[in-house]
Structure 1
């Protein structure tokens, strides 16, 4: 199977283009040679077959051949808003959520958060997580890259009114017991960090239009609960 590479630019058919620096390095790391096939996608839908034309020290030229309008996305728009788990768990959460079809991910700082980011540190981590999402799309076959939003505090995010008309909004709360998840339409799920959301935060979410749902009798980790929801929705859409 040809390597898949994300290129954030137009991909006109039957033309030769120079890859941007990031994708060019990716192709070089893969040790592709002139004549080798690869697949390019730009997040606008579908993917293009291409062929390496020239390899230089820092320049890689490819010929765009054909476009395949393949669609491997979830049939519905699902957003995760997550209290960021610490250490490498957030990287894993972004990677796996992308594989499972999330459309957007909102990192949050909550009352009980261990990982607290702001300013330049937050911007750097956002850029890093966006790159993780791109790599997961390249691996999984997705043709649209989820958006990793800037880090916000939970109150600031809720104040922006994230619940839109026609959207199902759920806050994951193990104290809620087991409740049915929304099976159709756009959906937004809020989950807490290590230690969960406080009572005040859950009440704030409910006031903003969220309803409490539980995922069963066991308490899931901060990086497990949102992935369990996505896995369920992904399988239901098959």
Structure 2
């Protein structure tokens, strides 16, 4: 069996004994039904991985002994901040999961004029927590040891107005520039992906005022979740570590 990768939210060090968090313990003890003597791999968000051995496991808790640490960076040289106008249901979850696999560093959920998601403060806070768990699960699966952050949701203009030294990009079906025409080198990108109905004319004008460059992916109109992943892939191929 492949050695499971488990995220631990607190700093780890070789030689220590730690109790896995509730979600991890449930996965190891109940789902995988692992027991003492079996190996797991831990990471704590510091670009290190830790070999560990289970020393106790029952239905409620799992304790492990950390035996070794090693540096293991899987991070792209391109820092990507995704501003994603929230999409409905599983589409947003899918976008977040795949964006993490493709190397995104920060994800900010956004509200726009045509955003189809309406949530009160309590439900939104629960969604943010749920999306962060999806990020962690994606890191466990894809081998990343640095955990991207899902920030609190904000309005499109608030996000666009934030200071950022990187290249600011907005996908637009009638843009004049493509990703392949962007000048090298680029180390930071703030990528805006609009809602299923697209950004309004006023919103597009607003993004231009905040220094965003409109770019074109191709001749076909893509769904919002397809747009995000296609753009991230193209950016990683040109400026990052894909291809």
Q: TM-score, normalised by structure 2?
A: 0.92
Please point out which of 152, 155, 177 is paired with 1:153: 155
Q: TM-score, normalised by structure 1?
A: 0.94
Q: Is the 8 A contact 1:118 1:151 kept in 2?
A: no
Within 5 A, what are the aligned runs for 1:155-194?
Answer: 155-158=157-160, 161-165=161-165, 167-180=166-179, 182=182, 184-194=186-196
Aligned CA-pair RMSD: 1.4
Q: Which residue of 1 aligns with 2:6?
A: 5
Quote the Cα distance in structure 1 between the aligned partners of 2:99 and 2:147: 11
Quote the Cα distance in structure 1 between the aligned partners of 2:49 and 2:26: 20
Matched length:
235
Within 5 A, what are the aligned runs for 1:38-117?
Answer: 38-117=40-119
Quote the Cα distance in structure 2 between the aligned partners of 1:2 and 1:163: 42
Unaligned runs of 5+ in 2: none
C-alpha offsets along residues 201-227 of structure 1, whole Å, 9 cap, x if unaligned? 111111111111111111111111111
Q: Is the 8 A contact 1:107 1:151 kept in 2?
A: yes
Q: Is the 8 A contact 2:6 2:41 kept in 1?
A: yes
Quote the Cα distance in structure 2 between the aligned partners of 1:40 and 1:60: 13
Quote the Cα distance in structure 1 between the aligned partners of 2:116 and 2:42: 38
C-alpha offsets along residues 146-187 of structure 1, whole Å, 9 cap, x if unaligned? 1111111212323xx32412x100111111144235552111
Please point out which of 183, 203, 206 is paired with 1:204: 206
Quote the Cα distance in structure 2 between the aligned partners of 1:80 and 1:138: 20
